[in-house]
Amino acid sequence: MARWLKRGFGILVMLGIVVIATATWYYKNQISLPLNLQDHVLKVDRGDTLSSLGYHLVQDGILKEPYTLKVYARLNSVNHIQAGEYHFPIDLNLAELVRWLETGKGQIGIKVTIVEGWTFRQMREVLASAPKLSQLTSSWTDQQIMAKLGYPDLHPEGQFYPDTYQYLAGESDLTLYKKAFNLMQKTLDDAWQSRKTAIEITDKYQALIMASIIEKESQVWDEQPEISGVFNNRLRKGMRLQTDPTVIYGVGDKYDGDITYKHLKTDTPYNTYTRSGLPPTPISLPGARAIVAAVNPAETKSLYFVAKGAGQHHFSKTLKEHNAAVQKYIFKKNSSG
């Protein structure tokens, strides 16, 4: 009896060794076999785990069973995977797949562009409709966004750098606001360090206001320093800036695309025809060149400019010359049209 028990125990041990060896072989084989992933797009939602993802991969025909994935993750202490959409340009084995999911490698970047000269309102509208961007702030006020950024008393206009931003599916819109805000502060800081001494603006916020006006007046980069020089000269002489974009900003939703004499005479905090100095806040999101131009105005004697078409302007030193330019480029053009 003891002999049969000993023999039975030996058989069980052998069977156990065979099972373990077979399982080990299967495990090593499964984690090293290439998966059919090339050009496959995999979506990982927030809250997904490798366990739940394993079943999705079985449904997609990528894995034969989900358990090897779970075992590999546990043995290698992989407890977190990054949400997003993944594109796999090549076939990976299971071990490589887990490393990509853990590090976020292969995630598909989505781009959204914030254009120079837009207002913060336009920026919000674009981000609100950006594909696959998580809308955390869509119901927030402007002040709530600024408070979340740590500046509850700061007006949002002008504070966000216009650029093309890349984000991942499921990423929060607040992340993009933070990126754009931080990049604007760095751009403004760098420009302020390189400023000329003979300028009328006295701090970085005034530089941002000036840059926002320059951006709206002209996006011809070669002209922006000249426009800045005109505004700098007018401030030095105590002349009002008399710039239409500030009037339009002050009119707000009532502006229908045609600035009128009534608009120019209607006083608002932003009407630089009725008020001296800079407006109280920026009026747009200026780009880097406009910011640099604001703190490095061209040395010019011009005090006036008027649009002459194709985004270009005619600059004048005297009112008489300016009136002649207005007659040439505005009135004659309108009468001939």
pLDDT digits (tens, 9 = 90+) for 211-228: 999 999 998 889 999 999
Specify the DSSP class assigned to residue 85: E
**3-class DSSP assignment, residue 44:** strand
Pseudo-torsion of CA 287, 213, 182, 298, nearest 10°?
60
Residue 10 located in a structural domain:
no
- How would residue 25 be classed by pLDDT, with cut points 50, 70 and 90? very low
Q: Which range (80-94, 173-187, 192-206, 272-286) has the least confidence?
A: 80-94
Query: Are 75 and 61 in a shared domain?
Result: yes
Query: Are 77 and 124 in a shared domain?
Result: no
Residue 261 located in a structural domain:
yes
Across the strands, what pairs with 316? 304
Token reading at 13:
């041990």
Report the sign of the C-alpha dihedral through residues 233, 236, 242, 247, in that order. Answer: positive
Query: Are 328 and 202 in a shared domain?
Result: yes
Query: Are 99 and 120 in a shared domain?
Result: no
Residue ending a domain, among 187, 210, 231, is 187
Query: Are 174 and 216 in a shared domain?
Result: no
Instruction: Write the pLDDT tens digit of every residue in 153-208.
Output: 999 999 999 999 999 888 899 999 999 999 999 999 999 999 988 899 999 999 99
State phi, psi for 192 to the nearest 5 degrees.
-65, -35
CA 335 vs. chain centroid, Å, equals 43
Residue 269 lies in domain: 196-336
* 157: nearest Cα among 199, 213, 235, 201: 213
State phi, psi for 265 to the nearest 5 degrees.
-95, -10
Across the strands, what pairs with 306? 314
Instruction: Write the pLDDT tens digit of every residue in 26-63.
Output: 455 567 678 888 888 888 887 788 888 888 888 888 88
Q: Letter for the amino acid at 259?
A: I
Number of domains present in the structure of the chain: 3
Do residues 76 and 68 lie in contact, with contact meaning Cβ atoms separated by under 8 Å? Answer: no
Residue 180 located in a structural domain:
yes
Query: Are 58 and 123 in a shared domain?
Result: no
Do residues 255 and 263 lie in contact, with contact meaning Cβ atoms separated by under 8 Å? Answer: yes
Residue 300 located in a structural domain:
yes
Query: Are 303 and 219 in a shared domain?
Result: yes
pTM (whole model) above 0.75? yes
CA dist 101 and 165 (Å) reads: 22
Query: Are 256 and 175 in a shared domain?
Result: no
Residue 14 located in a structural domain:
no
Residue 162 located in a structural domain:
yes
Residue 56 located in a structural domain:
yes
Residue 138 located in a structural domain:
yes
Query: Are 212 and 304 in a shared domain?
Result: yes
Q: Which range (10-14, 42-46, 97-101, 259-263) has the least confidence?
A: 10-14
Q: Is the pLDDT of residue 7 over 80?
A: no
